[in-house]
Amino acid sequence: MERYDKIKIGVPFANELEADRPMDRDTWLRECFPEWGTYLNKQIEAEKVEKGKLVLWWFGACSFYMKTPGDANLLIDNYSGPSVYITYDGGAGPVRMNGAERQEWMRCNPHVIDPWAFTKVDALLSTHPHSDHCDIFTIKPLMKNTKCMFIGPPNSCKLFTAYGTPKDRILQMKPGDTYKVKDSTIKATRSTDFCALRGGEVKPGKSMDDVGLNYLIETPSGNVYHAGDSSYHDYYYRVGAENKIDIALINCGDSPPSFTDKMSFADAARVATQLRAKLLIPMHYDNWAIAEGDPTEVEVIAKMKYPNLKTFIMKWGGRFEWPTDMDKRRYVYPRQEERARPALSWEYGDKPRVKLVVE
């Protein structure tokens, strides 16, 4: 449903003008969530990527939307869900790792996209079956409003099926498999997500390949590696030796002393170096309060130890263009100064002030 469009921001006595406006909890939810409405969805859909470039948008956590010159539209690990509360008896990985009876995973980042407003997604990639990487609140809308394929390891595909996804739209992959999407190739590589191996939304798999995958997305403009929730492992040296990687998307954060769910910032920088990536974009440090961290740490570590590794810190809803933005270091929200009309300013312009009349 469209947002209420009659709110006059800045008009005096708006409370009186809207005295008869109906309001209930459902109205509040429809008009205020997601916080960004469909603005970003429309921006992404309208984007025309130039030849030789690649555009990424970050929605928070491990969720990236990627668009290529050939109009390949790929969505990875999107999470449109709420805070979650997990229990030991429920079998979730983190509580199995430290033995806690329960944990509260409070969501910190806003909802910057509307999952029901996607129309052009070609493929949804899930790295593993944890709810923030294989999300029913994303899968159901994409199933209904797009023709996208749903791609993942066996246990993610079990969730796709459980959520009602048609079999002909599910692609189960294993390390080494590839899948072509327009001008891009998705290559599955081995995951090192030991937390997913210990438990999740479906029964643990017998091996890592049952529960997790990382993805290398090869495009004519550059290659992007998404490491999901993987932990540090020397295996990434092999991945870097066997593949060309330009951008590494690596999870990191401040895991509690009792369990390790995210890579440390030092490990994230080391993995990006093992991958021989030109640029590291950290992720996942932002969305869960239990493992929240400061990405400044990865900037400092990279500068101290890995002079050939560039870093770029995103902001929620931010847009990154490769290779244009690789030296910018941090995303800055648009300030819209180009829209200013100085001659009409009431403070320093030429136009005389007028009395505001409320109709």
Integer Cα distance of 67 and 193 in angstroms: 26
Specify the pLDDT at position 264: 97
**Predicted structure pTM score:** 0.92
**Residue 12 belongs to some domain of the structure:** no
Integer Cα distance of 111 and 285 in angstroms: 16
Closest CA to 316 of 78, 150, 102: 78
195 in Cβ contact with 97 (< 8 Å): yes
Strands 102-105 vs 63-67: parallel, antiparallel or unpaired = unpaired
Domain boundaries, position 185: 37-328
Instruction: Express each pLDDT in 82-128 by its tens digit.
Output: 999 988 887 777 888 889 999 999 999 999 999 999 999 999 999 99
Instruction: Express each pLDDT in 178-192 by its tens digit.
Output: 999 999 999 999 999
**Residue 218 belongs to some domain of the structure:** yes
**Residue 20 belongs to some domain of the structure:** no
The least confident of 6-10, 71-75, 308-312 is: 6-10
Cα maximum dimension of the chain? 75
110 in Cβ contact with 211 (< 8 Å): no
Helix (H, G, I), strand (E, B) or coil at 142: helix
**Residue 357 belongs to some domain of the structure:** no
Specify the pLDDT at position 7: 45
Q: For residue 196, what are the contacts with CB-CB under 8 A and spacing of at least 6?
A: 93, 128, 129, 130, 155, 211, 212, 229
More confident residue, 71 or 345: 71
Count the alpha carbons within 13 Å of 169 in the hemisphere toward its beta carbon.
21
**Residue 22 belongs to some domain of the structure:** no
**Residue 23 belongs to some domain of the structure:** no
Mean pLDDT for the stretch of residues 282-307: 97
**Residue 46 belongs to some domain of the structure:** yes
Specify the pLDDT at position 351: 76
Specify the pLDDT at position 93: 78
% pLDDT > 90, the chain: 80
What separation in angstroms does the CA of 135 have from each of 45, 145, 156? 21, 16, 10
Specify the pLDDT at position 346: 84
Q: What is the CATH number of the domain that holds 203?
A: 3.60.15.10
What is the count of structural domains for the chain?
1
Strands 102-105 vs 170-172: parallel, antiparallel or unpaired = unpaired
251 in Cβ contact with 227 (< 8 Å): yes
